[in-house]
Structure 1
């Protein structure tokens, strides 16, 4: 492609933000990326800053709030020591091979070395790259608020995810369905490598580059795959499958719908990545589709676990050139079929106060989910109220159901199961349940309220939500509205791939 790229700013303009930067992924060579300086935005301002994360990464949060740092976090001023690049990958989108894709609006600045290991930093929405295709390289304030808040909400829930360091905005117009304004999220992760990175090199017959990428990932993130018996790349596939199974169990257990589980949106580290048309369900519906653009319902809530396996199969196909035979890939994928249901049963059991998995627990969980689906019961509120029902007061949760006699019969079975546990203590069980059943999740209407206020220049609700979502299991004063039922108008919110 001949996409015009912005000229790099003079080195003298570079701002030193403190921590030392390292190339990391950029050291793999030109086959893996294109040098891509961000494109400046006018009149940038700080919408939100993740001060705890800034400290973890070695930044001084107070310094990041200054105008020079805000400009740097927006891509309007170079950061000393960084080498901005856009990476190339391919992938399957909605089950169809899409060919070459790549970072169309995300620019990788480099990596920081932390006590937890290397952490990559990207600017999402920082301008055109060689892989922008028909896009403009920008992100809008609406979708950037959603990504910033949800990545931190997932972290607060203990679910593996990319993180958000900062959110900056600019009045520069960006055209989507309507004219909106630009924003940039500085997001971080140990690695932004996706399944699609491997697919790209495999599909193009670039086996040496495929091997180099796989070795890079193994050496940095999966060293046990090389020391274990068997083919290291098959071991990598099995390890990624295990992490993905665990991730999907966590998604399902909180009613989270990703919305666009394309292979280029799947993390090689089993992280939740690329927050587009996501949703935490309100009324429970196993067939719920959160993405208005997903007309066929490919990424419905109940299909997510099988889609993850389908994506892993694509990753396995991509890695085949590095294996001795196809059976190694098939064997590496097989454990997913047992790991996911076992992980989900454990997590759902914990939500019901069960200390360990026993025969019949899966059926107990399924019976509750069927009741919830039949009566369109609010997912988050139902499980939170169950915490208070352990001691016998079922009225608040019972009132959520239309078929109350059916719920009563289920509740009797549930209490019998609880009381069969050695040393059962109702208060301790209720407390344990509150640690896994969140009071607050990032519902669509909460995000929409924050977005509408931010579009008027008021960022207080974004920051309030950020604080609340960092401690989603706590009962805190002043947050009752965030834990309440969604208003009727929330059903009219439509979320698509447009951002």
Structure 2
């Protein structure tokens, strides 16, 4: 079945040479770049990450974005950190664009390493991201990070900029995933500029402000392990435990407990991805959050015509990060993190035991989510039969390339005792008799537990979204934004912030993609 985890233990990794010579991190400085601290927004910033030793980051200032303008702002994200989205003036936009720096900010770019497409890439780091600091919120401390604010010592021949199209995609998808209830970083805003940026063509620059409790990732730990620096490895692990997992400090082996908890969270996160058809596209270890949150929205996609082997990243020539591979790669990445933590955990057996929770956590979470999507109760005596029912379902979805989101949303309208309302569902299938046969099995299962149509429909519509960020919808908003019309960014954001509601006035956003959408390609180049 598509949601199975075919687990393979990675081979031991050999440390690679650092991308920067020893001491480069300490000596690198961008202090001659323009920009100075001013009171543009009175954000009550603290600087927890910047309290770590200087080996972990480089202090620097952003490169101002000339003549910035606001492209979009998330009202819920703004209110979370105490900003009024209705009171955005020129000074505020300047801060959102990285052209001005709040007085209490201490911008830093973090260093980390990682495996990219399964290959050790050595030192990486925030090549176009800078951390402002963290703000206390009702949900706990929230770090703010510019993405696209200029070069850093980790830019690796890049310009440190982000382009408008990818910035809009990240902004919209971050908030859409949050509304879907999936662990994720947030996005506060997008600011644009007419400054040209060279990619495949000349595009315009933009800056996203991202929000998360922390942007520490698996690669942050790999960096110190591969440099044989157990001291900094321990400092980082202690910081993460004390700040984000304080209950683990009382465990017999807090570092093993940390690995186990991160492994659990990662398994649950990917199970949620699979349940809504989300594909990350670049599951490198430097893109895996230590909190189990969806991090770094690049060439992502939501499943449309179902194909378990679908690859949403045009740069992923081998299909390593296809939809079907995501569960296995999540586990592979946890092994990479585990190897980095072995010097602290001490025992290989304890390390393995912490990793062993992945498969069970993923399977349990997927089982719960799929039962909810089908409106079924989890009955122990029906476990085998339910698995067969699900296998059969994904088989006919695959064979017919039925639209993933529309199928599960329309399934809520199926009646347990009649096929009178089946046409909207049948229309998604070329082989309608195959669907009819499956639907009969499904009805039998519904009747077995005495399912009530109206109650089941309400429950299913609360977990099966009607609206997701399809690529063609994002492209429509991008096309208008490139003409300085940001109305579609705002409207699409509003639709995606209520993905389970019917929203009859926005019905067109739930339609099947047009034929031209099949030609859209997204890569790592932005």
Shorter-chain TM-score category? over 0.9
Tell me, yes or no, if the aligned pair for 1:384 and 1:434 is still in contact at 8 Å: yes
In the other structure, the counterpart of 1:199 is 222
Provide the C-alpha distance between the structure 2 equivalents of 1:213 and 1:147, rounded to a whole number of angstroms. Answer: 28
Q: Distance in 1 between matches of 2:65 and 2:276?
A: 37
Counterparts of 1:220-231 in structure 2, within 5 Å, are 220-228=243-251, 230-231=252-253
Report if the CA contact (8 A) 1:171-1:181 is conserved: yes
1:23 is aligned to 47
User: Equivalent of 2:409, from 384, 388, 398?
Assistant: 384
How far is the alpha carbon of 1:406 from its aligned partner? 1.7
* Distance change in 2, residues 1:461/1:298 (3 Å): same
Q: Give the superposition deviation at 1:354.
A: 1.0
What does 1:173-322 align with in structure 2 at a 5 Å threshold? 173-228=196-251, 230-322=252-344
Contact conserved, 1:91 with 1:262, CA < 8 A, in 2? yes
Question: Structure 1 residue 78 and structure 2 residue 105: aligned?
Answer: no
Matching residue within 427, 434, 441 for 2:454: 427
Equivalent residues of 1:346, 1:357 under 8 A apart: no
Aligned to 1:116: 139
Aligned to 2:439: 411
Match of 2:159 among 111, 133, 136: 136
Choose from 46, 49, 53 the match for 2:70.
46
The 10-residue stretch of structure 1 (129-138 or 394-403) with the greater mean CA deviation from structure 2 = 394-403
Q: Is contact 1:170-1:183 (8 Å) kept?
A: yes
Counterparts of 2:207 and 2:276, CA distance in 1: 28
Structure 2: distance between partners of 1:279 and 1:231? 39
TM-score by length of 2: 0.92
Q: TM-score, normalised by structure 1?
A: 0.97
Judging changes above 3 Å, is the alpha-carbon distance between structure 1 residues 251 and 487 closer, same or farther for their aligned structure 2 residues?
A: same
Given the alignment, which residue of 393, 405, 425 partners 1:397?
A: 425
User: Are residues 1:491 and 2:518 paired?
Assistant: yes
SS in 1 for 2:330: helix
Aligned length: 495
Which residue number in structure 2 is paired with residue 370 of structure 1?
395
Residues 463-488 of structure 1 show CA distances to partners (whole Å, capped at 9, x for unaligned) of 11100000011111321111000000
1:156 counterpart residue number: 179
Partners of 1:351 and 1:383 within 8 A in 2: yes
**1:60, distance to aligned residue in structure 2 (A):** 2.5
Equivalent position of 2:10 in the other structure: none
User: Following the alignment from structure 1 to structure 2, what is the Cα–Cα distance between the partners of residues 410 and 449?
Assistant: 36
- The answer to whether the Cα contact below 8 Å between 1:15 and 1:69 also exists between their aligned partners in 2 is no
Choose from 470, 481, 504 the match for 1:443: 470
- Find the partner of 1:465 among 473, 476, 492: 492
| Contact 1:24/1:111, CA 8 A, preserved across alignment | yes
For the residues of structure 2 that align with 1:96 and 1:22, how far apart are their CA atoms?
Answer: 36
Structure 2 gaps, min length 5: 1-19
Q: How far apart in 2 are the matches of 1:376 and 1:314?
A: 34
Where structure 1 has 5 or more consecutive residues not aligned to the other structure, the ranges are none
